Structure 1
Amino acid sequence: MVILHEYPLSMVDHIGFREFLHDLQPLFKVPSRNTLKSDILKIYEYERAKNMIALEKIESRISITTDMWTSSNQKRGFMVITAHFIDDAWKLQSRIMRFIYLLCPHIADVLSETLLSNLMDWNIDRKLLTLTVDNCTTNDAMINIVLSQLCTHSLVLNGEFFHMRCCARILNLIVKDGLDIISGSVEKICDSVAYWTVTPKRFEKFELFAR
């Protein structure tokens, strides 16, 4: 439940939650926060080992996506690495391989070292197909470092198409540029909506003019 809904570990200390569990089953012993943390880590290690075996056995190549994410409350940078592959039933599968906190600065050397370490750890460095990243100079430099450390003979066409640029990120940049051009018109429309909907009387008047 805690993993599924991303509840805080401290919820086992909440009086209301403990009373609720006691009403359901008075004999049930609520685990401590440390026990809960230990159980979650055991589940993680079990799932990680199972996925590592699965990735080693699959015949298809593996595509990697990686991105940086900054937490809104702590302002800390995290790197997530995800593997994508086609299973034996021809279904697309995705597995989060690593979600790690990275110390600043987030330069190409740090990113490439973390990525390569993860690929070696999962033993998939010779089964790679592509690496998809955001379109920025830091990622370009990271790709060059990664390619210099990998065996290019194990890559498709010696890694010629190894670097894939994130289409969603490119599309996002295109849309932002387009919205900048019409930002004046969009602002006027927003101001008009805000003006006519501020009171019921104005809204009724607007509907009258519309009719």
Structure 2
Amino acid sequence: MGGRSQQSAIFIKHFDKVTLPSGDLQAICKYCSKAYKWQHGGGYGTLIRHIEKNHPVEIGISRSQSQIPTFSSQSGKESQLFKFSESDFRDETARFVAVEQLSFSFGDKLSFQNWLSSSANPAIRRIPRNTLKRTIHKLVATQKNELIKEFASLDNKVTLCSDIWSDHWQSCSYMGIICHWIDNAWNIQKRLLAYRCFNDPHTAQNISHLMFLILEEYGLTSKIFSISFDNASANTCSIDELIRMCQPSIGGKFFHIRCTCHILNLCVQDGFRSLETYIKPIRTAIHYPWTHPQVMKQWGRFCKANGMRAKRFARDVPTRWNSTYKLLLSTFEYKELLCGFFGQVVQSSSLYLFSNQWNICTIICEIRQSGPRPDSGLLRQTALEVLTRSARSDSPRRVGRKRISGDNGAAAAAAQGGGGGGVEEEERGGFA
């Protein structure tokens, strides 16, 4: 309730300060004579809660203020009064902060208190960030214990899905484990078991050791049917370690389920190698303004001068097989503007964009719209199809100040069966 000066005023008004023969201080309530141990410089939280809970009328809070009529109730009764509970409010605020990924200081903001106390309940107070953090940890521990009890009574097996990744700055690594199972009512369930910092070397022994510790916490070491992992060699080797420690069913024959998305991405990236000559200049040019603040300002002014809104394009992330398609798709509306910007404003020879590059990218997106092609042979055929169609429909021509030549012409010639060796060598020797 309020700041320290306001709490001190409440203490002086509603409590008597008494010095015991031993020299200790006590605060005695003026209304019920309840005594509390107190010392100079100490907090007023316990004393304030006593007054608010037992003598709300004396401090100007009506006993009926915390009871708000509701339209319906979980019990089905037509008329039921809702009684405000500070602990429930704190728990629900903690859940809200966790779900919405807000900072722990969210509940300690003055605007937060003003909003709720003026529109919901005058008894609502700010929640200090350390209190909110402890509440979140308490809720996590409670749900974890409930999950452990549920797993203990589970008769069937569970499947796990795990991944290890590093943050954007490569400073920290993390391991996430998700569990899927069918409960006794034949409903599929999914829970996040762990989201742990994993800064040890990503060796098979370290991966299997951390996973085994997490499985032991939940009592699942003997109930694992399969684990979905990507194709990293350390992950594959860690599965052998886990098979030895967990002794799964059928001798672990189906214990390692390889991640389909990871395999699909490997196939897609493999197929894109033949198209890298056309995609890389666009990818580099798109990324350039966002790493140079001055160029980004020039891009904004250039778009405004041409009656367009400055757009931040989708990023091409190598670990997401569909990100290249989304990047190209987001640039089509701005292709003329991008060519003009890098040709007239930036004027860097390494960032020139050409019209037949966009035409080839249009063909790529048209092929992609027919659906993903996870097979490496089909992707190789797709790459050749793109190069062949672009070579038939486009001839090298000048855009801005530079002419298409070199690798672009060699790739197109190879696709037609003529000179050059890049694509033909890929076709004969296969993809890596």
- Identify the TM-score tier after normalising by the shorter chain: 0.7 to 0.9
Report the equivalent of 1:129. 225
| Alpha-carbon distance between aligned partners in 1 of 2:336 and 2:225, rounded to the nearest angstrom | 55
Partner deviation per Cα, 1:44-89 (whole Å, 9 max, x = no partner): 1111111111122222211111111323367311111121111233
Deviation at 1:193, TM superposition (A): 5.5
Equivalent residue pairs, number: 197
| Alpha-carbon distance between aligned partners in 2 of 1:76 and 1:156, rounded to the nearest angstrom | 35
| Alpha-carbon distance between aligned partners in 1 of 2:187 and 2:276, rounded to the nearest angstrom | 42
- The question of 1:12 aligning with 2:107 is answered yes
Residue identity matched to 1:196: E
From 118, 125, 144, give the equivalent of 1:23.
Answer: 118
Partner deviation per Cα, 1:91-122 (whole Å, 9 max, x = no partner): 32111111111223222211111111111221
Report the equivalent of 1:180. 273
Report the equivalent of 2:336. 196
Partner deviation per Cα, 1:148-192 (whole Å, 9 max, x = no partner): 222x3xx22111221111111111111122223223344688587
- The question of 1:59 aligning with 2:155 is answered yes
SS at match of 1:182: helix
Of 11-20 and 37-46, more deviation after overlay is shown by: 11-20
> Structure 1 113/187 Cα, relative in aligned 2: closer, same or farther at 3 Å?
closer
> Structure 1 164/195 Cα, relative in aligned 2: closer, same or farther at 3 Å?
closer
Residue identity matched to 2:273: D
Kindly indicate which of the two structures has a greater share of residues assigned to strand: 1
SS at match of 2:179: strand
| Alpha-carbon distance between aligned partners in 2 of 1:75 and 1:100, rounded to the nearest angstrom | 14
Report the equivalent of 2:401. none
SS at match of 2:139: helix
From 172, 197, 200, give the equivalent of 1:104.
Answer: 200
- Whether the 8 Å CA contact 2:164–2:175 is kept in 1: the answer is yes
- Whether the 8 Å CA contact 2:161–2:179 is kept in 1: the answer is yes
Deviation at 1:137, TM superposition (A): 0.8
5 Å matches for 1:159-174? 159-174=252-267
Report the equivalent of 1:39. 135
SS at match of 1:65: strand
| Alpha-carbon distance between aligned partners in 2 of 1:117 and 1:80, rounded to the nearest angstrom | 13
When normalised by structure 1's length, the TM-score is 0.82
| Alpha-carbon distance between aligned partners in 1 of 2:334 and 2:238, rounded to the nearest angstrom | 46
From 244, 263, 267, give the equivalent of 1:148.
Answer: 244
5 Å matches for 1:70-109? 70-72=166-168, 75-109=171-205
When normalised by structure 2's length, the TM-score is 0.42
> Structure 1 50/166 Cα, relative in aligned 2: closer, same or farther at 3 Å?
same
SS at match of 1:41: helix
> Structure 1 195/128 Cα, relative in aligned 2: closer, same or farther at 3 Å?
closer
| Alpha-carbon distance between aligned partners in 2 of 1:8 and 1:180, rounded to the nearest angstrom | 43
Of 129-138 and 3-12, more deviation after overlay is shown by: 3-12
* Runs of at least 5 residues in structure 1 that lack an aligned partner in the other structure: 200-211
Residue identity matched to 2:265: N
| Alpha-carbon distance between aligned partners in 2 of 1:193 and 1:39, rounded to the nearest angstrom | 49
* Runs of at least 5 residues in structure 2 that lack an aligned partner in the other structure: 1-95, 283-327, 341-432
Q: CA RMSD in A?
A: 2.5
> Structure 1 57/188 Cα, relative in aligned 2: closer, same or farther at 3 Å?
same
Q: Which has the larger radius of gyration?
A: 2
Residue identity matched to 1:165: R
| Alpha-carbon distance between aligned partners in 2 of 1:132 and 1:173, rounded to the nearest angstrom | 17
Asked which structure has the greater RCO (Cα within 8 Å, sep 6+), the reply is 1
